[in-house]
Amino acid sequence: MDGFAMLEGDPTMLQGGSPLRRYGLSIGTTDPDLDRLAALAARMAELPRAAVALNDGRRAHHVGACLPGGSEDAALIHDDPVVPDLIARSPDAGIVMCRDLADDPSFARRPVHAVHGIRFVAAAPLYDADHVLIGALEVAGPEPHELDERARYALPPLARQVMANLELRRIAAAEARAIRALEKQNARLRAALDSERILKMEIDHRVKNSLQMVSSLLQMQGAQSTSGETRAALAAARGRVQAITSIHAALHRVSQMDRVFLPTFGNSLIEELRKGAPENVVLLPRMGAVDLETSQASALAILMNEFIANSLKYAFPDGRDGTVSLDIGCRGGRVRARFEDDGVGHDPAAPRGEGLGTRIMEAVAGQLGAELDFLASPRGTALAFEFPLGARA
C-alpha cells in the first residue's frame, strides 16, 4: 500500500468523491512535481520519509513521495489511519503531529509503530476549494522527533503549494474530460451526418428514378395516342416532369441542409435546362449572391423553367436566334427577379392566357408571396416579380 495511512475511519476524509480522478491521477504512480514537494518537505523536516497522500473512497494513495528505499520502501507504508486520527484531534490546526507514537497510548500498539517502527509522524492537512479535507502532506521518521520553527513555518505553505499544483491538475483533467466528451459528441454527430447523407442519397436516387419512370410513361402514352391535342398535352406534362427532374438534380448538387446559394444553384439549373434548348437560343443567367431557403429555391426554379419553356415554344419561331435572360438579385431584404427574352413578344395589354403554365406560375408566385408583372418591352417578353427573403414557400 503506497501510503502512510489508510484514510478510512474518519468521515471527513471521505468527502468530495474521488480526488484521484478529479485531479487526473492514477493508482500506483506518483507525479514528479509532487515528488519534489515531498522531498522538500522531508528536507525541511530533517526526516527520511515524506508523502502527498490522497484518499480515494476508502483507500489512501501516494501521489507524491520521498522514500529512502524507493519502491522497495513502499512496504513500510501501511494501512494504519494514524494521520486522519491526528487531524481529527485538531481539525483546524495548520500542522498535526505525534512526537513519539510509542509514548502515545492511542498509537503505541498500532502497526505504524509496532510493526514498521515509525515513531514520529506530522502532517499538514490538504483542503480543497470547498474546505473539504482530501488528504495530507505527511512526514515521518523512525525516531522521536520535534519539528523546529523553520519546519513548522514551511510545511503549511508547502501544503498550499501542493493544493495549487493539484488545482492546476484538476483544471487540466477537467479540460481533458471536456475534450474527450466533445470528441465523442463530434463522433456521434459525424455518424449522424453520415447516416443522414446516406439516407438523403437514397431518397434522391428513388425520387430521380420515380421521375424518370413518370417521364417514360408519359412518353409511351403520347406515342400511342392518335389525338394531336392529347400528344401535345402529354408532351407538355413530360417536359414539366423533366424540368422537375432537372430542378431536383440541381438542388441535390448544391443544397446544404435547408439553404441554397443562388449563383451555384441557378447556374447548375440553367446547365440542366440548356440540354433541352435549341442551339439558336442562348440562356443567360445573372444571379446575385443570395442564400435562399430550399423551398424558395425550388419555387424560383419552377418559375424560371416555365418562363424559359414558354419562350422556347413561342418567342423564336422558324429557328430565329435569340436570348433568354434571367436576372435575380437581392436588395433591402427582398429578392428581385426579371426574366425576359428578345423574341417576337406579345401585347402586354392583351389578356393573359389561362393555360396550365400560367396557372402553375401564379400558384408558385403565391407561395413566394410575389405577384407576377408582365412588362411592356421594346422587344420580346419580360416578367418581373419580387418576394421577401426568408419567407418559406
Give every CB contact of residue 275 below 8 A, 6+ residues apart in sequence: 246
The answer to whether 346 and 317 are in contact (CB under 8 A) is no
Task: Using the predicted structure, report yes or no on whether residue 391 has a pLDDT greater than 80.
Answer: no
Q: Which of 336, 256, 249 is nearest to 300 (CA)?
A: 336
Look at residue 2 in the predicted model and tell me its pLDDT. 35
pLDDT per residue as tens digits for the range 311-330:
888 889 888 899 999 999 99
What is the side-by-side strand order in the sheet with 382-388?
A: 281-287, 322-331, 334-341, 382-388, 373-375
Question: Any bridge partners for residue 51, and if so which?
Answer: 65, 138
Average pLDDT value for residue range 74-99:
69
Judging by DSSP bridges, how do beta strands 49-56 and 259-261 pair with one another?
unpaired
| Residues 260, 263, 264: CA angle, nearest 5 degrees | 65
State the pTM of this model: 0.48
> Do 139 and 50 contact (CB within 8 A), yes or no?
yes
Residue 172 CB contacts under 8 Å (≥ 6 apart), including other chains: 24
41, pLDDT greater than 70? yes
- What does pLDDT average to over the chain? 79
Residue 58, pLDDT above cutoff 60? no
Q: What percent of the chain has pLDDT over 70?
A: 79
What local confidence, expressed as pLDDT, does residue 90 receive? 75
Higher pLDDT, 46 or 118: 46
Strand order in the sheet with 120-127: 59-66, 49-56, 133-141, 120-127, 96-98
Query: Please, what is the angle between helix 356-368 and helix 294-314, to 10°?
Result: 150
Cell digits for 259?
439553404
Classify residue 289 by its DSSP letter. Answer: S
Q: pLDDT, tens digit, for every residue of 60-79? A: 677 777 776 544 444 334 45
Query: Which grid cell sits at 351?
Result: 389578356
> Which range is most confident: 25-29, 80-84, 220-224, 251-255?
220-224
pLDDT for residue 351: 57
Q: Which residue has the cell 451555384?
A: 264
